[in-house]
């Protein structure tokens, strides 16, 4: 694979976990007088670029928002095409992901999917479960509010069964029951397509994430777009409530 877009200067401050709202596929297609679906298909190439760069920089985790719990509101035809694209991509790419040492995780309310799709998801996850080069998490039928609600329900059940007491409910205890709790929280959030909103993505997990918005549409993001986002991330001072002076002293 050609690596002409990958910068040769070593990067110092890299995120461990990058979370992305891949937005703008429909507008990309519309600009070209193509059906919206052509944008979703072309967007897959940006997914491949990002995965390649994450491997190159040894980034631990990449989470991609592929279908939100609100996306069911789209025309039936588009929902069907998106589901098909997800299923085909899963089938087509899982071997390659496995060969590259990538662990695949699907997060979201998968109960809504056909038994066939649920089985394919489980197979892909179990095939790749021991891989360590990169965790690729794909959020499908995911909603941040759903995620927090599920965690709350699980805590309530644990209290009801006597396993824990109400006073054991802490931010950590709730966080442990959320999707992706096995990963570090996202360091960098990227949204393409120009919109500056979270759209019910990882609400809890993004509490201290650096946010990056770009007008680039998802199919045109590719390696160059990701490099620019990494540059922006590297230039930020993460203070986590402390003063800038404190952080500088710690870094010195
Ligand atoms: C993002 O692109 C992909 C999904 C939501 C599945 P859009 O389809 O939202 O593209 P725009 O926002 O209409 O351009
Ligand atoms: C968010 O994109 C969801 C995904 C990228 C999967 P949308 O395009 O659906 O977001 P809104 O509804 O415009 O905020
Ligand atoms: Mg959109």
Q: pLDDT tier at 151 (50, 70, 90 boundaries)?
A: very high
> Side by side, which strands form the sheet with 17-21?
102-107, 134-142, 61-68, 17-21, 188-191, 210-213
Tell me: is residue 23 an annotated ligand-binding position: yes
All domains in the chain, ordered by first residue: 17-143+185-236 (3.40.1180.10)
Of all protein residues, the one whose alpha carbon is nearest to atom 11 of ligand 2 is: 199
Neighbours of 62 (CB within 10 A): 25
Alpha carbon distance 80, 95 (integer Å):
24
Ligand nearest to the CA of 199: 2
* The pTM of the whole model exceeds 0.85: yes
Q: What is the mean pLDDT of the chain?
A: 96
Condensed to tens digits (0 to 9), the pLDDT of residues 99-140 reads: 999 999 999 999 999 999 999 999 999 999 999 999 999 999
Strand, coil or helix: 207: coil
- The answer to whether 52 and 100 are in contact (CB under 8 A) is no
Provide the 10 A C-beta neighbour count for residue 162.
Answer: 7
How much distance in Å is there from the Cα of 42 to the middle of ligand 3? Answer: 15
Contact 143, 200 (CB under 8 A): yes
9 pLDDT exceeds 90? no
Which three-class secondary structure state does DSSP give residue 149? helix
How many H-runs (helices) and E-runs (strands) does the chain carry? 8, 6
The residue to mutate among 20, 39, 40, 71, having the most atoms of ligand 2 within 8 angstroms of its beta carbon, is: 71
Of 3, 103, 100, 101, nearest to 49 by C-alpha is 3
- Give pLDDT tens digits for 55-94: 999 999 999 999 999 999 999 999 999 999 999 999 999 9
* Cα–Cα distances in angstroms (integers) from residue 32 to residues 26, 80, 156, 186, in the given order: 10, 22, 51, 34
SS3 string of 61-90? EEEEEEEECCHHHCCHHHHHHHHHHHHHHH
Give SS3 for 37: helix
């Amino acid at each position: 694979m050609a690596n002409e877009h990958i910068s040769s200067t070593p990067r110092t401050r890299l995120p461990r976990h990058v979370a992305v709202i891949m937005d703008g596929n429909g507008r990309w297609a519309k600009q070209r007088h193509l059906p919206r679906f052509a944008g979703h298909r072309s967007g897959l190439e940006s997914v491949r670029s990002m995965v390649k760069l994450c491997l190159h920089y040894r980034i631990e985790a990449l989470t991609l928002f592929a279908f939100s719990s609100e996306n069911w509101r789209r025309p039936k035809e588009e929902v069907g095409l998106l589901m098909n694209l997800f299923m085909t991509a899963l089938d087509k790419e899982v071997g390659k992901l496995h060969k590259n040492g990538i662990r695949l995780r699907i997060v979201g309310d998968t109960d809504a999917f056909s038994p066939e799709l649920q089985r394919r998801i489980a197979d892909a996850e179990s095939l790749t479960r021991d891989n360590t080069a990169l965790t690729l998490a794909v959020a499908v039928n995911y909603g941040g509010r759903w995620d927090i609600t599920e965690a709350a329900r699980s805590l309530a059940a644990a209290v009801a069964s006597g396993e824990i007491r109400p006073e054991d409910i802490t931010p950590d205890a709730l966080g442990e029951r959320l999707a992706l709790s096995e990963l570090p929280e996202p360091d960098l959030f990227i949204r393409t397509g120009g919109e500056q909103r979270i759209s019910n993505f990882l609400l809890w997990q993004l509490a201290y994430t650096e946010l990056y918005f770009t007008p680039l549409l998802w199919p045109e993001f590719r390696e160059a777009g990701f490099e620019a986002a990494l540059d922006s991330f590297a230039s930020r001072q993460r203070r986590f409530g402390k003063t800038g002076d404190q952080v500088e002293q710690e870094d010195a």
